[in-house]
Structure 1
Amino acid sequence: MKVILFGASGTVGQGVLHECLLDARVESVLAVVRNPLGVHHPKLREVVHQDFADFSSLAADFEDADACFFCLGISSLGRREEEYRRVTYDYTLAAARALPDNPGLTFVYVSGAGTDSTERGRSMWARVKGRTENELRAMPFHAYMFRPGYIQSSHGGVSKTPAYRWMYAAISWLYPLLRRVIPHHVTTTESVARAMIAVAGQQGAGEPVLDSAEINRVARNGH
């Protein structure tokens, strides 16, 4: 499996990259980044690209991809809808539209618990995520929407968002308790990554929208 990875420098993306490089099912990873990751591995190739609203110049790099794992995102805290939509919706759709015309390709999008598929709710971030999901599901590839709740970093990944770093520092030690008390609402970057790799091999089978419980189940069972 040849994977394109967006958001490899973020907490989730770091975990996904780690698992992809370990997994024998993944032949290669193409990480699209603004700045070099500083990671070296025979399976990894980086493409440094600055304009995340237009990936058309990377069409040749994307040609033989089997899957795209889109982990790029920002917090909606303190952001206007226009700014949040540019990263959450515009960048995601720009990547999806630059992919090869291959109906067998799988696109996995990291969305979030509470996403509003109706696009009419009061929560700005949930509407924008919902619109992004709806557009992806209408595109000519196999699309899976991951809607995790709390995600625990499995391999020491650190968020670039200060608010998220503070939050994880404050509650990450509670993860073993959260896993016992609310197991259906928590997952790990390792489980997210393993579930992504698993659904990429399903060729559109299974549920197209996965919450934390379903992500954990697929990660355990491989389907």
Structure 2
Amino acid sequence: MKAIVIGGSGATGRELVKQLLSDERFRKVITLVRRPYFESHQKLEEIIVDFEHLASSQDVIKGDVAFSCLGTTLKDAGSKEAQWHIDYDYPYHFAKMAYDNGIASFVLLSAAGANAQSSIFYNRMKGSLEDAIKKIGFAQFLILQPGGIDRPNTDRLGEKIGLKVLKVFNSVGLFKQYEPIQTHLLAKAMIESFFQYKKPIHVLSLKEIQRLTN
């Protein structure tokens, strides 16, 4: 099988590409990136794209399954408008082109609490993306909604503090739906969800994600 990935240079995306390359079920992995990132591999095709003009790369968006790990923080984006553009517009246009090119399956890394009606900007953005891709019509659309993501060697101070606080709460049984998950486990769940859930649309909670990593 052939997989195509956006967001491959992020913490979860890196693990996803690594695991896809070592997975014998996949013969080829395409990753769309803004700049060269990965070391060469016989199964890997790294394609440099301009996400502002992704339509010019439509011909390469082909395969059996597409994975989206693309996302940024409000701090890195600089504004809510810029974050929405990266977290919503880019993945949506990628999904639409994947569908138009005959890709039947789409796996989206979203977030716990995603809801298009939420008063919280981040949750509303993620929920809006989920709803928009649902309408595209993939034969198989999988949405993973983890809580905290435990990124190795993160330099985001707020994220480090937040994860520590969450772990303290989790240790006494609170906010278990937001329990942090390590990126390599989340990547594994993204791959296994493709093989185990054949429904047209399926949303995976943290508990389901964790079950796929055992």
- TM-score by length of structure 2 reads 0.83
Q: Work out the CA distance in 2 between the residues paired with 1:217 and 1:193.
A: 13
How many angstroms does 1:54 deviate by? Answer: 3.4
Residues 207 and 136 (structure 1 numbering): CA distance in 2 closer, same or farther, change over 3 Å? Answer: closer
How many angstroms does 1:201 deviate by? Answer: 2.5
Q: Work out the CA distance in 2 between the residues paired with 1:218 and 1:106.
A: 18
Residues 25 and 179 (structure 1 numbering): CA distance in 2 closer, same or farther, change over 3 Å? Answer: farther
Higher mean C-alpha deviation, range 166-175 or range 28-37: 166-175
Matched, 1:15 2:18: no
Query: In structure 1, what residue type is equivalent to 2:46?
Result: E
Query: What is the 5 A alignment of 1:137-152?
Result: 137-141=134-138, 142-152=140-150
SS of 1:209's equivalent? strand
Residues 206 and 96 (structure 1 numbering): CA distance in 2 closer, same or farther, change over 3 Å? Answer: closer
Report percent identity of matched pairs: 28
Query: What is the 5 A alignment of 1:132-171?
Result: 132-141=129-138, 142-153=140-151, 156=152, 162=155, 165-167=156-158
CA deviation profile, 1:166-217 (whole Å, cap 9, x unmatched): 2455577899878765665232222222222122224633871112221111
Which position in structure 1 is the counterpart of 2:113? 114
Q: Work out the CA distance in 2 between the residues paired with 1:80 and 1:176.
A: 29
CA deviation profile, 1:16-41 (whole Å, cap 9, x unmatched): 11211111112211010001014221
SS of 2:100's equivalent? coil
SS of 1:25's equivalent? coil
Which position in structure 2 is the counterpart of 1:208? 202
| Gap runs ≥5 in structure 2 | none
Q: Work out the CA distance in 2 between the residues paired with 1:219 and 1:135.
A: 28
Residues 172 and 134 (structure 1 numbering): CA distance in 2 closer, same or farther, change over 3 Å? Answer: closer
Residues 194 and 181 (structure 1 numbering): CA distance in 2 closer, same or farther, change over 3 Å? Answer: farther
Match of 1:130 among 124, 127, 130: 127
| 2:99–2:136 contact (8 Å) kept in structure 1 | no
Query: What is the 5 A alignment of 1:1-223?
Result: 1-50=1-50, 52-63=51-62, 65-77=63-75, 79-101=78-100, 105-116=104-115, 119-141=116-138, 142-153=140-151, 156=152, 162=155, 165-167=156-158, 184=177, 185-202=179-196, 204-205=198-199, 208-220=202-214
Q: Work out the CA distance in 2 between the residues paired with 1:104 and 1:73.
A: 22
Higher mean C-alpha deviation, range 126-135 or range 34-43: 34-43
Q: Work out the CA distance in 2 between the residues paired with 1:204 and 1:128.
A: 26
| 2:134–2:201 contact (8 Å) kept in structure 1 | no
Q: Work out the CA distance in 2 between the residues paired with 1:72 and 1:80.
A: 17
How big is the alpha-carbon RMSD for the aligned residues of Structure 1 and Structure 2? 2.8
Higher mean C-alpha deviation, range 6-15 or range 104-113: 104-113
How many angstroms does 1:102 deviate by? Answer: 6.2
